Amino acid sequence: MSVPVRAPRWVSTRRLLEEKLDNLHNCNNLNHVKQLHAQIIKQDLHNDLYIAPKLVSSLSLCRQMGLAEKVFNYVHDPNVHLYNTLIRACVQNSLNMQAFGVLFEMQKNGLFADNFTYPFLLKACDGKNWLRVVQMIHTQIEKCGFLADIYVPNSLIDSYSKCGVFGVCAARRLFSTMGERDNVTWNSMLSGLMKGGELSEARRLFDEMSEKDMVSWNTMLDGYAKAGEMNMAFELFGKMPERNVVSWSTMVWGYCKDGDMGTAKLLFDRMPVKSLVPWTIIISGYAEKGMANEAMTLYDQMEEAGLKLDDGTVISILAACAQSGLLRLGMKVHASIDRNRFKCSTNVSNALIDMYAKCGSLDKAMSVFNRLLKKDLVSWNAMLQGLAMHGHGEQALKLFSRMKQEGIQPDKITFIGILCACTHAGLVDEGVRYFYAMERDYGILPQVEHYGCMIDLLGRGGRLKEAFRLVHSMPVEPNAIIWGTLLGACRMHNAVELAKEVHDHLIKLEPSDPGNYSMLSNIFAAAGDWDTVANVRHKMRSTGVQKPSGASSIEVDNEVHEFTVLDRLHPKSDKIYQMIDRLSQDLKQVRYVPELSEDIG
């Protein structure tokens, strides 16, 4: 009986390595990249101009720019392709100035930019401040004759469109001179016009297009939705020859933003295919409006549909919870994270800290903060501001000391939290010291927000003249919030004469705001100056605007209830007012007399 013999197999190690290297530029697994890097060095391939760009690209995807630069520096004679790869890696990792440094080094070494170099650099130019840079790059492109490659002018139009109104004008001039245009050209110009708020011009251009693709339709939808023009968006949506998840999601998002949750839900239910994105939009929409039951029901349905959470979904929903104070929904998301063993990135942990802090659950916020191994500046700022806003000023200052001990450099957001902490804790002298230490010790110039915090701090502490001097010493023009804060301090300390002067400044900025008249009237009423109170009331009536009622909200049984003065809209308003009357009777029995101010609102 013959026994089958297995045929011998021979596998080339070099061949296996080549197969792995083929897709190396798409690999974002750091462990795999490091293993391949070791093999590359072992095979003495680190100087190979085919392999080195792939390795730089993969390390860029892994956010390992230090290693990527080392790989680049190992190559004795880098070519333009390798320089372009490093420029692109810098831009992908938001190292924009470093990307231009690579360009200058390339030119110093006698190499010239090609038609790929400038489009990579243009990706770094995002915002009004970059307009001059884009213009200079445009000049270089024309000198080199790269406009003939349609990819290059398309990149220019896209970058110009991100540089504000003047950038959009430059994009239109370039667009009008182009002899050849493809769909990317048209879509980039459409997007730019929409970003610049030129909806009519964008629609005219859209109607001129001979071939509209899905991007064209979705660009128009997105522009209308962001501008709040949902009637126009719905009309266009109805004309679409076909729709994808992006089209449906844009419409759902637009109606959520517009506050029309009924239409948003109707469109969401009619979606033929639902990815994680529309689920995130609709749940966040309900959460932002404080509609906890609807948001939680949809969240349960999303989990039942088998969709796995990602960072974007978790952060969006938690941000909505933080905005409206929906602690229960936030806790539900946190429970899902723990149950599914979801790997929390620093950004997700920061969103949890922010949500718990803003919802008043400081113990849970601190628990997440203390368990976070890789804290960044956002982590510290979120926890510090949470402590500050809930009156735990001294704890916030201790956290700031701990932050400095761990070598974390504060930024302007940190100092807003510090100054608020001092305000709520009544630590006036400490707040003044921190304010003047900003520029002296940390090189941070105080912004209008910091001055607002200082005016509030000094005002609450009764140091009104000092607050007034600080307002006049501001390097920028004080806004209505600054003067309003100072007027509030005048009311707190019955500073009638100073209040008149502050009010004069405030009226120039907000002549029709009834709240300013109301506060001034209360100040004169407290001083017993009833003639002036009558005069202020007359001026207020002459503006034709009434002071809006203040509102309070509370979450009960997963639902946020909002109340205003003399509100009768709540379905249980009769029982609520019965309870208020009963409480008033109980307070009278113990002879409690509340401090009431004359309020004309």
**How buried is residue 465: exposed, middle or buried, by Cβ count under 10 Å (0-12/13-18/19+)?**
exposed
What is the distance between the alpha carbons of residues 137 and 431, in angstroms, rounded to a whole number?
Answer: 46
The tokens describing 335, both together, are 């429970």
What is the distance between the alpha carbons of residues 238 and 222, in angstroms, rounded to a whole number?
Answer: 14
CA angle 71–98–133, rounded 5-degree value: 140
As a 3-state breakdown, the chain gives helix, strand, coil percent values, each rounded to 5, of: 70, 0, 30
Tens digit of each residue's pLDDT (9 = 90 or more) over 342-381: 888 999 999 999 999 999 999 999 999 999 999 999 999 9
CA angle 280–286–289, rounded 5-degree value: 135
pLDDT for position 600 = 34
Count of all residues that appear for the chain in the document: 601
The tokens describing 493, both together, are 């300390």
The tokens describing 254, both together, are 């637009």
**How buried is residue 171: exposed, middle or buried, by Cβ count under 10 Å (0-12/13-18/19+)?**
buried
> Within the chain, how many helices (H) and strands (E) appear?
33, 2
pLDDT for position 562 = 64
Q: Are 99 and 71 in contact (CB under 8 A)?
A: no
Residue 214 clears pLDDT 90, i.e. is over it? yes
In the chain, what percentage of residues exceed pLDDT 90?
60
Q: Are 228 and 258 in contact (CB under 8 A)?
A: yes
What is the distance between the alpha carbons of residues 549 and 526, in angstroms, rounded to a whole number?
Answer: 21
What is the distance between the alpha carbons of residues 203 and 188, in angstroms, rounded to a whole number?
Answer: 14
pLDDT for position 250 = 96
How many other C-beta atoms lie within 10 A of the C-beta of residue 212? 18
What is the distance between the alpha carbons of residues 443 and 553, in angstroms, rounded to a whole number?
Answer: 40
In order, the DSSP letters of 247-307 are HHHHHHHHHHHTT-HHHHHHHHHH-SS--HHHHHHHHHHHHHTT-HHHHHHHHHHHHHTTP
What is the distance between the alpha carbons of residues 440 and 434, in angstroms, rounded to a whole number?
Answer: 10
The tokens describing 278, both together, are 């529309």
pLDDT for position 544 = 56
Sign of CA dihedral 47, 50, 53, 59: negative
Q: What is the mean pLDDT of residues 243-247?
A: 95
Residue 329 clears pLDDT 90, i.e. is over it? yes
Residue 476 clears pLDDT 50, i.e. is over it? yes
List C-alpha distances in Å: 313 to 108, 145, 323, 481, 517.
46, 45, 16, 34, 44
Q: What is the mean pLDDT of the chain?
A: 86
What is the distance between the alpha carbons of residues 201 and 261, in angstroms, rounded to a whole number?
Answer: 30
Residue 43's pLDDT band, with cuts at 50, 70 and 90, is confident
Q: How far is C-alpha 290 from the geometric centre of its chain's CA atoms?
A: 20
What is the distance between the alpha carbons of residues 488 and 482, in angstroms, rounded to a whole number?
Answer: 10
Q: How far is C-alpha 172 from the geometric centre of its chain's CA atoms?
A: 29
Sign of CA dihedral 254, 260, 263, 267: positive
What is the distance between the alpha carbons of residues 538 and 497, in angstroms, rounded to a whole number?
Answer: 20
pLDDT for position 496 = 75
Residue pointed to by tokens 């290693």? 67
Name, in order, each residue with C-beta under 8 angstroms of 502's C-beta and a sequence gap of 6 or more: 468, 483, 486, 487, 490
pLDDT for position 568 = 65
Tens digit of each residue's pLDDT (9 = 90 or more) over 8-38: 554 445 566 666 777 788 888 888 888 888 8
Nearest to 279 by CA among 318, 252, 251: 252
Phi-psi bin for 259: left (phi > 0), alpha (psi -120 to 50), beta? left
Nearest to 320 by CA among 333, 336, 305, 307: 333
Find the radius of gyration of the CA atoms of the chain.
31
Helix (H) or strand (E) holding 415: helix 412-425
Phi-psi bin for 103: left (phi > 0), alpha (psi -120 to 50), beta? alpha
What is the distance between the alpha carbons of residues 210 and 51, in angstroms, rounded to a whole number?
Answer: 43
Is the pTM of the predicted complex or chain greater than 0.85? no
Q: What is the mean pLDDT of residues 214-240?
A: 95
Q: What is the mean pLDDT of residues 310-325?
A: 93
pLDDT for position 322 = 93
Residue pointed to by tokens 């309003």? 484
pLDDT for position 14 = 57
